[in-house]
Amino acid sequence: MRVGVVGGGVIGLSTAYYLKRLGADPVVVESAALGAGCSFGNAGWVCPSISSPLPAPGLTLKSLSWMLRPDSPLYIRPTALPSLAPWLLRFRSFCNHTDQKRGIAAIAGLNRFTMERYDELAADGVEFECHESGVLMVFRDSDKAAAAEKEVKLVTAASATSCTDLTEAEVYEREPMLRPGFRFGLFVGGDRHVRPDSLTAGLGAALRAGGAEVHEDTRVTGFRDEGRRVRGIVTTKGELEVDAVVLAAGAHTGSLARMAGWAIPLTAGKGYSVTIDEPRNQLRQPLFLGGAKIGLTPFEGTLRFSGTMELSGINRRMDVARIRSLRRIVGREVDIPEASYGGREWVGMRPIVPDTLPVMGKLPSRDNVYVNTGHQMLGVTLAPSSGWALAGLMLEGKPGVGLGAFSPERF
């Protein structure tokens, strides 16, 4: 089976990898370079222990208005509000305990295979930077610590993982670079982190070494249909004949799905990061600043801090005020001399739908078109298990895990 995979980020490449592993002939089509989109500059956390949907109980119109503040961790650009209003209303409808627990259980089911799939990639010879040092979560405020602990324990209960409460002394023993005043901490020891660009590079190299066809700098402009089946992917560099299609182009998957006759309410949750080469001080493990919702990740020779969720539509526009806020908070909370001035700045578009669960499965409008998108901030965590599950569904009729909660039919 010749399967066109539209999207060369971590989700698309993972899907192509497992399609190849199960005997298909994947053809990857990427509008830029492999791994150059949302996968490139994110935190790289592989974190089943803290994986949950974004809607939470208690969201009110007042808290939605708070999100219009430029320094808010979740920011809604006022000029985008009219076009985003229907999406936000649907998002708010999922802010209840029932949907939260349902979403946690669904993500935990997929996450049961996360570490197994990462170990499998490494055993297969896919080369990527990976660390198994856990994640440290720290808080100054007891209320925010208690709220975070409650959510983390909901996730760990569903995923059979665990977290450890830390005293103030234990927090600073684990991370001496923290500024004074962090009195509460949680440590999730089973989680890992990978350097995202090394993962996409490793997957791309493995696909090419296995004979897979890869088309970079190639934009998809349409599909050639025969009845309910797509027989060709029309691109800026010609047409590619296929037996099936997977749409895994991140935030751009919505427009591709519409070309195939199905609407997915997909928007971009933009995230920002700064990557510092050869930092003067280096963290011992990934660090989550609970009050500000900012993550810091140590890689070999670099340190990255990232955060914010900006809803402003599908665009790559960088808001310098968001970067300044990110730098200011990190410099205030952690002893990183380069936080205020150094490093490479980046913005990327996380694909999210209103319930913020992944969208995986066959489009009802076509007999041979599938999607794998909508992983919000969990793309690196869920990529191998998502690729494995969708490939199993397509080629063997059995994904190995329940995908009902992720079906595109829910829209």
- Residue range 143-175, pLDDT digits in tens: 999 988 998 988 988 877 778 999 999 999 999
| Alpha carbon separation from 87 to 81, 210, 334, 355 (Å, rounded) | 10, 41, 36, 10
The tokens describing 26, both together, are: 């994947």
pLDDT tens, 308-355?
Answer: 899 999 999 999 999 999 999 999 999 999 999 999 999 999 999 999
- Return the pLDDT at 367: 98
| 56 pLDDT tier (thresholds 50, 70, 90) | confident
- Return the pLDDT at 159: 77
pLDDT at 63 over 70: no
Q: Could you give the domains of the chain?
A: 1-57+96-129+192-265+354-411 (3.50.50.60)
The tokens describing 223, both together, are: 């599909």
Between CA 349 and CA 314 the distance in angstroms is 7
Q: Taking all residues of the chain, what is their mean pLDDT, rounded to a whole number? A: 95
Q: Which residues contact 305 (CB under 8 A, 6 or more apart)?
A: 273, 274, 294, 295, 296, 297, 326, 330, 336, 339
Please indicate, yes or no, whether the overall pTM of this predicted structure exceeds 0.85: yes
Residue among 151, 148, 155 at smallest CA distance from 182 = 148
Average pLDDT over residues 31-59: 93
Phi-psi region of 361 (alpha: psi -120 to 50; beta: other; left: phi over 0): left
Between CA 204 and CA 73 the distance in angstroms is 33
Number of H helices, E strands in the chain: 11, 21
β-bridge partners, 245? 4, 369
Q: Which residues contact 270 (CB under 8 A, 6 or more apart)?
A: 308, 309, 310, 311, 312, 315, 347, 348, 349, 350
